[in-house]
């Protein structure tokens, strides 16, 4: 595989990014954490796959040095568990404006078990009824509050 770009993001505790994917220009991503801790998740969106709609998650930390590869055709997201986190990732295609899409991070049909998260699903991706078990509120981008559930989202 060929990686075309390296990216780095910095986030604070309670930030949840995702679940993102590109429709026409899908990206493979090799992700790792160099500072702090995140729970990283991939969801299979390949319609003909035996694992369609299934998720896998792993905690990535600066101590465990784990890396996680997310294949093309998967939605990707992460929740910051530490006070701050520096997240690094390599991608197999560039970001294309207008091609990005997403999947509701809390869709009960998928059932992602986000660690340390408490709250109740209210029928949308809006995080206002959730927080971390230490009382930290969740922080989302406006677009991440609007993603649709699996049954209504794009399939590869």
43 Cβ contact partners less than 8 Å away, ≥ 6 residues apart: 19, 53, 54, 55, 74, 75, 76, 103, 110, 112, 150
Q: Is 20 a catalytic residue?
A: yes
Distance CA 156, CA 22 (A): 10
Catalytic residue among 52, 56, 76, 89: 89
Burial of 74 (0-12, 13-18, 19+ CB in 10 A): buried
List residues bridging with 70 in a β-sheet: 29
Q: Is 116 a catalytic residue?
A: no
Distances (CA, A) of 109 to 79, 93, 114: 19, 29, 14
- In this structure, what DSSP letter does residue 73 have? T
Catalytic residue among 10, 20, 76, 130: 20
Which residues carry out catalysis? Answer: 20, 89
């Amino acid at each position: 595989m060929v990686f075309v770009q390296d990216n780095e993001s910095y986030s604070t505790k309670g930030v949840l990014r995702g679940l993102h994917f590109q429709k026409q220009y899908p990206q493979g991503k090799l992700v790792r954490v160099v500072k702090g801790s995140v729970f990283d998740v991939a969801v299979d969106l390949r319609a003909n796959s035996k694992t369609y709609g299934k998720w896998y998650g792993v905690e990535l930390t600066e101590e465990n040095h784990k890396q996680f590869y997310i294949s093309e055709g998967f939605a990707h997201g992460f929740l910051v568990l530490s006070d701050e986190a520096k997240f690094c990732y390599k991608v197999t295609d560039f970001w294309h404006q207008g091609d990005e899409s997403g999947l509701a991070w809390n869709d009960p049909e998928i059932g992602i078990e986000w660690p340390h998260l408490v709250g109740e699903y209210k029928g949308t991706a809006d995080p206002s009824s959730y927080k971390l078990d230490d009382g930290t509120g969740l922080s989302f981008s406006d677009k991440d509050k609007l993603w649709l559930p699996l049954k209504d989202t794009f399939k590869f």
